Amino acid sequence: MNPRERVLAALRRQIPDRVPWIEGGVDLPMQRRLMGRDDYLPEDLAETLGLDNLIAEFLPPIFAEVEIHDDVPFIGAPLLRSRADLDAMRFPDPEDPALYRAAEDLVRRNDGRYAVAAKMRLGASPMLLSLGLEGFSYALADDPGFVGSVLGRYADWSIAVIRHLREVGVDYVWTFDDMAYKAGPMFSPRTLRTVFMPHLRRVADAIKGEGFPWIFHSDGNLMPILDDLLSLGMDGLHPIEPGAMDIEALKREIGDRVCLIGNIDLHYTLTLGTPAEVEDEVRRRIEIVGAGGGYMISSANSITFYCKIENVWAMAEAIRKYGVYQGATV
């Protein structure tokens, strides 16, 4: 199988020839260290590491101060404080062909080899970053309609972009909407259902209506709201953060409903551990969570600039070593 076939099989919870390795991102400083040069294409990085996917970004703007340090963006103070700031929410024109050109070029060069993901947001994460958690909390009490208006505008933009993705030629959609800390969600299940879900469902329905497989990402402990989120109908769940969620338990409980994606630890294993510890964790994930298919290995967020480079190489080597399914058929 080629990487594209491998990823799509896993999203259907089938058994491909080997466990796919996908990442939602590799920080630019880490890319350069891995490649040892600046003149490379995304597919060059994928081939060097052994990744099975490529990323085409369609991320909406976040209305907050942003600082760039060593080519890595950090979100600062929020800029949306009240309804008076809604006019400042200006998005790229979703009908402008230029918005899709880079993705079309990526798909054309790729020619069906790698699985190309449209990296997007449902709207929750950019809303929370644009209001700030404190501003969001006050708005919930003082003007919940303001929260809904911001969420709605993000949802509308994502839906407009989704309508063009079939023409672009991407293979699946991967939404990034952090909703939880390690201890639990950033808001109550009731708030999810009454404030968030109507808008999230509109985007989810648009993705499914276009026939795309879909991966949902959120860091943290999603367990108190997981049933609600699964009702949106995603095909994959990422990254199942270690220490917050138990991926082996989830394999038993929901492995027949959704492809599990993750969860090589960033808090210790990839950042502070040894190559031998990386190998052991990769082996265990593949042996236990990969059993029977419906699993793709990934870091527990992305390959960050602060990972140990020797541990990234150890992860790549361990996936090659342990990732083959014996006698697999699709």
pLDDT in tens, 173-207: 999 999 999 999 999 999 999 999 999 999 999 99
- pLDDT at residue 164, rounded to an integer: 98
Which residue ranges does the chain devote to CATH 3.20.20.210?
52-238
Whether the pLDDT of residue 329 is over 90: the answer is no
> Positive or negative CA dihedral for 130, 134, 135, 141?
positive
> Which amino acid is located at 170 in the chain?
V
Helix crossing, 144-168 with 197-209: angle to 10°?
A: 10
First to last CA, the chain: 10
Whether the pLDDT of residue 264 is over 70: the answer is yes
> Positive or negative CA dihedral for 175, 178, 182, 184?
negative
CA dist 219 and 181 (Å) reads: 7
Token pair 């101060």 in the structure block, residue: 65
Chain segment 267-310, per-residue pLDDT in tens: 999 999 999 999 999 999 999 999 999 999 999 999 999 999 99
- pLDDT at residue 330, rounded to an integer: 47
Reported as a pLDDT band with limits 50, 70 and 90, residue 66 is confident
In contact, 136 and 142? CB cutoff 8 Å: no
What does the pLDDT average to over 133-138?
96
> Positive or negative CA dihedral for 240, 244, 250, 254?
negative
Chain segment 146-176, per-residue pLDDT in tens: 999 999 999 999 999 999 999 999 999 999 9
- pLDDT at residue 326, rounded to an integer: 72
- pLDDT at residue 107, rounded to an integer: 98
What does the pLDDT average to over 98-108?
98
Radius of gyration of the chain, Cα coordinates, nearest whole angstrom: 19
- pLDDT at residue 35, rounded to an integer: 98
CA dist 85 and 153 (Å) reads: 13
Reported as a pLDDT band with limits 50, 70 and 90, residue 327 is low
- pLDDT at residue 144, rounded to an integer: 94
Give the chain's mean pLDDT: 96
Instruction: Tell whether domain 52-238 is in CATH 2.60.120.380.
Output: no
